[in-house]
Chain A
Amino acid sequence: MKLAATLLMTRRTLKRSLSGTIFLMVGLFIFEFVQPLVADSLGGGAGVAAMIERLPPTFQSILKTQPEFVALSGLPGYLSLGFSHPIYYVLTTAALAALICRSLAGELDSGTMQLALSRPVSRWSVYLSRLLAVLATILIITLVTFAGMVIGIAAAKPEGTLDYVNILPTAAGAALLLAAIAGVALAISAYSDTTSQAVGWTTGFVVVSFVIDYLASVWSVMKPLDPISIYAYFDPGQGLINGALALTDVVVLGIVALAGVGVGAAVFLERDLPS
């Protein structure tokens, strides 16, 4: 395996997705940037808690929070909502899924992958190039997300304090969640013959996982199923408020990520290329 060829393909993969990624990252930055501004305009933690209290419990569950949590936790508690909000999930998942499905299943589908695989380039090198592009994208998403939040705090100066050290475990948890989604998306893309097939299955996985987590929080019957959702292992509130990152969350999300990457590699290295 030649590193130069791998890095060349990584750059190509990132460049092909550049415009879409930039668009989504701008959206993500703005979304996280406005959270402190909104908190300030609502009157800090107490104001936000009052607003959340007016929401029906099912809506509160979508945000994975309760008014007393925000009232007690203050600014960090409110800011953590920015990482459990559906808009955050949609923007981050879209950026990752688009990159992975397009660069793996998409290039299998269009045949552009043949250009590399007809040269002295191994399949492992092609797969690794996509993996590196995914890791770079996860890093970018994480940096943009928390940069937006920090700059928003600096601009709005909302009531309350945030211990900036707590950003690290929260960012690590967020990156691990994205890595788990990416791992599954890689496995699905390596198996798929078409972009639409890969996008469909990846979207299905994310949506089902989210819905299970949501239903488990509002319906006791579904509670036993919560552990099968990857979103059950991401708790930004614990990260931002207490600077904690549960070992269970790290292990489960890490295993899902590594298993996905491993299955994807095993499938891609042995599969027939579609005609």
Chain B
Amino acid sequence: MIATHDLSKRYGSITALSRASITVPEGTIYGFLGPNGAGKTTAIRLLMGFLKPSSGRATMFGHDCWRDGLAARRNVGFLVTADALYPDMTGTAQLDYATRLSERPPVLRQRLRDALELSEAALSRRLGTYSKGMRQKLALIAAMQHDPALVILDEPTDGLDPLIQRNFEEFLLGLRDAGRTIFMSSHDLAEVERTCELVAVVRAGVIVAEERIAELRERHASRVSVQFQDAVPDSLDQIPGVAIESLDGLRVELMLKGDPNPLVQYLALHPVVDLTINRASLEEIFMAYYEPASPEAVGVPV
């Protein structure tokens, strides 16, 4: 659905995106992660044909995003920034304008309005009177109301309250189940964890990881907390995949990577009072890519 091959964007001596190669399969929700200035928005703007690549290429539906942008964008819904809406238009007029430019009926408008709780009264007002959250809701409806096969969202839930955010996530999952593809960047890792199957992590313009969240988790260490009844066994750190993080009396904090069975079998031989195993969260994995001082904590490949 989306493919980039060595896609780069340079501004003079500054490289905003360097040789990015990603593939977004059809029918998935793909998360694009990175802090501010990492290159997420640059990548999205290259996909939309707003920027000309310095080298490499990006395609959507097999069409080059720069040279054949019209065909590439034919079945795409893109979330413009909330500030990029016409302040002199009413909400309804803005949506109708977007519909006419898309040349497709707004079949999802009502469902989106319900999910985002944007009332008819609000839509009859000029956008100049909208709050940031309301503008974001309207921009989301404008992006998706025509039921595009591919939706590209840059920080989609920015400015939405948590309840609406959950409604919107449900909506995205429904779209995915209906075969649509969603490519989204987000700062909200919990949101990405709830919605995305695949993620790419970008750091300083370079894609440092691209894989399924489940596989990403498997490759990274889980946090294990064990409280022994009598004494901490000496040979604990000799179990394959186990590293001791801290020791506090009879409580030991471990990092476990890979197969948990050797640890479980070992613990079965030693009386344990309390045991908790927490799989690495996306946030921990994500932070590991940005904290090179402690990559081994979650098993980041270096």
Residues of B within 8 A of A120 (CB): 70-71, 73-74, 101-103
Interface size class, chain B = 20 to 34
Closest to A273 in B: B50
Residues of B within 8 A of A121 (CB): 70, 101
Contact A117/B74 with A2-B103, A12-B97 known, Cβ cut-off 8 Å: no
Is the CB of A221 closer than 8 A to any CB of chain B? no
Closest to B103 in A: A120
Is the CB of B85 closer than 8 A to any CB of chain A? yes
Q: Using an 8 Å CB-CB cutoff, how does the interface string of B105-131 with A read, 1 for contact, 0 for none?
A: 000000000000000000000000000
Residues of A within 8 A of B70 (CB): 120-122
Q: Can you give 8 A-B contacts (C-beta < 8 A)?
A: A4-B100, A16-B88, A111-B83, A115-B97, A119-B102, A120-B70, A120-B73, A120-B74
- Whether the Cβ atoms of B69 and A273 lie closer than 8 Å is no
Residues of B29-57 whose CB lies within 8 A of A: 41, 45, 48-52
Cross-chain contact of A112 among B84, B101, B102 (Cβ < 8 A): B84
Residues of B within 8 A of A117 (CB): 48-50
Residues of A within 8 A of B98 (CB): 115, 119
- Whether the Cβ atoms of B41 and A275 lie closer than 8 Å is yes
The 7 closest A-B pairs by CB, nearest first: A111-B84, A118-B78, A273-B50, A119-B101, A120-B74, A114-B80, A272-B51
Closest to B41 in A: A275
How many residue pairs link A and B with beta carbons under 8 A? The number is 71
Residues of A within 8 A of B297 (CB): none
A16 to B126, CA, bound (A): 13
Is the CB of A163 closer than 8 A to any CB of chain B? no
Q: Which of A4, A8, A119, A122 has the most CB of B within 10 A?
A: A119
Is the CB of B76 closer than 8 A to any CB of chain A? yes
A12 to B86, CA, bound (A): 10
- Whether the Cβ atoms of B97 and A118 lie closer than 8 Å is no
Residues of A200-229 whose CB lies within 8 A of B: none
Residues of A257-275 whose CB lies within 8 A of B: 270-273, 275
Residues of B130-182 whose CB lies within 8 A of A: 142
A119 to B100, CA, bound (A): 10
Q: Using an 8 Å CB-CB cutoff, how does the interface string of B80-98 with A read, 1 for contact, 0 for none?
A: 1101111010000000011
